[in-house]
Structure 1
Amino acid sequence: MNNISLLIALGVLANSQSTSCPDYLAYSQQRNAPFSSGKYSLPYQRPAPACRTFNSPSIESTIHNMSSVISDPDLYRLFENTLPNTLDTAIKWHGVSATDSAQELTFIITGDINAMWLRDSSNQLLSYLPFLQPDDSKASLASLYRGVINLQARYLLTSPYCNSFQPPPESGLPPSNNSAAVSDTVTPAYSPAQIFECKYEIDSLASFLQVSSAYHSATKDTDFFKRYQWVDALKTVISTAKSMTTPTYDAQGRVLDSPYKFTRQTTRTTETLANDGLGHPVARDTGLVRSAFRPSDDSCSLQLFIPGNMMFASYLGPVMGILKTIGGHDDFVKEIADLEGSVRKGIENFGVAKVPKLTSNSSSSTLDRQTETEEIYAYEVDGYGSAIIMDDANIPSLLAAPLFGYMDRNDEKYLGTRRHILSNTNSNSGGGNPYFMAGPVLSAVGGPHAGPGMAWPMASIVRILTSDDDDEILGQLRQILASTDGKGLIHESVNSWDEKSWTRPWFSWANGLFGQMILDLADRKPHILKQSFQ
Structure 2
Amino acid sequence: MKILALTFLLLFAQVQSQSSCPDYSEYSKARHPPYSSGTYALPYQRLPPACRTFNSTIIEEVINSMSTLIHDPDLYRLFENTLPNTLDTAIRWRGVAANNSAEELTFIITGDINAMWLRDSANQLQSYHVFLPTSPDTTTDSLSSLFRGVINLQARYLLTSPFCNSFQPPPESGIPPATNGASASDTVFPPYDLQKVFECKYELDSLAAFLQISTTYASITHDTAFFTKFQWVHAVRAALSTAKAMMTPTYDANGAVLNSPYTFTRLTTRTTETLANDGLGHPVARDIGLIRSAFRPSDDSTTFQFLIPANMMFAHYLQPTSDILFAINETVLGQEIRDFGTSLRDAITTHGIVSVPSAKDGNETETIYAYEVDGFGSSLIMDDANVPSLLSAPLLGYTNPSDPVYLRTRNRILDSDSGNGNPYFMRGPVINAVGGPHAGPGMAWPMASIVRILTSQDDDEISKTLKEILASTCGLGLIHESVNAFNASRWTRQWFSWANGLFGQMIYDIKDRNPGILAQSFQ
TM range (shorter): over 0.9
CA–CA distance in structure 1, aligned partners of residues 8 and 163 of structure 2: 34
> How far did residue 343 of structure 1 move?
1.1
CA–CA distance in structure 2, aligned partners of residues 466 and 193 of structure 1: 40
TM-score by length of structure 1 reads 0.96
CA–CA distance in structure 1, aligned partners of residues 430 and 522 of structure 2: 15
| 1:396 and 2:382 are equivalent in the alignment | no
1:365 is aligned to none
1:344 is aligned to 345
CA–CA distance in structure 1, aligned partners of residues 139 and 314 of structure 2: 31
**C-alpha distance after superposition, 1:408-465 (max 9, x if no partner):** 10000000000000000253xxx10000000000100000000000000000000000
Contact map agreement 1:14 1:92 (CA 8 A) in 2: no
CA–CA distance in structure 1, aligned partners of residues 234 and 354 of structure 2: 37
1:245 is aligned to 247
Secondary structure of the 1:494 match is strand
1:183 is aligned to 185
> How far did residue 334 of structure 1 move?
2.3
1:267 is aligned to 269
> How far did residue 176 of structure 1 move?
0.6
| 1:235 and 2:237 are equivalent in the alignment | yes
Amino acid at match of 2:186: D
| Aligned equivalent of 1:479, options 453, 464, 468 | 468
Contact map agreement 2:424 2:436 (CA 8 A) in 1: yes
| Aligned equivalent of 2:366, options 369, 374, 381 | 374
Amino acid at match of 2:125: L
Alignment of 1:5-44 (within 5 A): 5-7=5-7, 14-44=14-44
2:377 is aligned to 385
Q: Which runs of 5+ in 2 are unaligned?
A: none
> How far did residue 333 of structure 1 move?
1.9
> How far did residue 138 of structure 1 move?
0.6
| Aligned equivalent of 1:201, options 200, 203, 214 | 203
Alignment of 1:415-426 (within 5 A): 415-426=407-418
1:100 is aligned to 100
1:533 is aligned to 522
1:149 is aligned to 151
Judged with a 3 Å threshold, the aligned counterparts in structure 2 of structure 1 residues 425 and 458 are, in CA distance, closer, same or farther, namely same
Contact map agreement 1:13 1:93 (CA 8 A) in 2: no
Alignment of 1:282-293 (within 5 A): 282-293=284-295
CA–CA distance in structure 2, aligned partners of residues 352 and 12 of structure 1: 54
CA–CA distance in structure 2, aligned partners of residues 16 and 202 of structure 1: 39
Contact map agreement 2:3 2:100 (CA 8 A) in 1: no
Judged with a 3 Å threshold, the aligned counterparts in structure 2 of structure 1 residues 257 and 215 are, in CA distance, closer, same or farther, namely same
> How far did residue 112 of structure 1 move?
2.2
1:410 is aligned to 402
> How far did residue 59 of structure 1 move?
0.4
> How far did residue 354 of structure 1 move?
1.2
> How far did residue 16 of structure 1 move?
4.3
CA–CA distance in structure 1, aligned partners of residues 357 and 14 of structure 2: 53
Contact map agreement 1:7 1:96 (CA 8 A) in 2: yes
Secondary structure of the 1:522 match is helix
Contact map agreement 2:383 2:390 (CA 8 A) in 1: yes
Root mean square deviation of aligned Cα:
1.2
CA–CA distance in structure 2, aligned partners of residues 24 and 399 of structure 1: 31
Amino acid at match of 1:326: I
CA–CA distance in structure 2, aligned partners of residues 463 and 104 of structure 1: 35
> How far did residue 346 of structure 1 move?
1.0
Secondary structure of the 1:196 match is strand
> How far did residue 337 of structure 1 move?
2.2
| 1:444 and 2:446 are equivalent in the alignment | no
1:57 is aligned to 57
Amino acid at match of 1:320: S
Q: Percent identity?
A: 66
CA–CA distance in structure 1, aligned partners of residues 368 and 411 of structure 2: 9
1:364 is aligned to none
Contact map agreement 2:201 2:299 (CA 8 A) in 1: yes
Secondary structure of the 1:279 match is coil
Amino acid at match of 1:144: L
TM-score by length of structure 2 reads 0.98
CA–CA distance in structure 2, aligned partners of residues 354 and 12 of structure 1: 59
> How far did residue 341 of structure 1 move?
2.0
Contact map agreement 2:11 2:173 (CA 8 A) in 1: no
Contact map agreement 1:247 1:284 (CA 8 A) in 2: yes
Amino acid at match of 1:508: S
Amino acid at match of 2:132: L
Judged with a 3 Å threshold, the aligned counterparts in structure 2 of structure 1 residues 11 and 63 are, in CA distance, closer, same or farther, namely farther
Contact map agreement 1:14 1:54 (CA 8 A) in 2: no
CA–CA distance in structure 2, aligned partners of residues 357 and 180 of structure 1: 42
**C-alpha distance after superposition, 1:218-272 (max 9, x if no partner):** 1111110000000000000000000000000000000000000000000000000
Amino acid at match of 2:445: W
Say which is worse superposed, 344-353 or 146-155, in terms of deviation: 344-353
CA–CA distance in structure 2, aligned partners of residues 201 and 16 of structure 1: 37
Contact map agreement 1:10 1:138 (CA 8 A) in 2: no
Secondary structure of the 1:402 match is helix
Amino acid at match of 1:308: A
1:280 is aligned to 282
> How far did residue 473 of structure 1 move?
0.4
Q: Which runs of 5+ in 1 are unaligned?
A: 360-367
Secondary structure of the 2:144 match is helix
| Aligned equivalent of 1:464, options 453, 469, 475 | 453
2:87 is aligned to 87
Judged with a 3 Å threshold, the aligned counterparts in structure 2 of structure 1 residues 13 and 143 are, in CA distance, closer, same or farther, namely farther
CA–CA distance in structure 2, aligned partners of residues 530 and 13 of structure 1: 43
Alignment of 1:150-169 (within 5 A): 150-169=152-171
CA–CA distance in structure 2, aligned partners of residues 12 and 472 of structure 1: 49
Secondary structure of the 1:374 match is strand
Alignment of 1:312-351 (within 5 A): 312-327=314-329, 329-351=330-352
Amino acid at match of 2:381: I
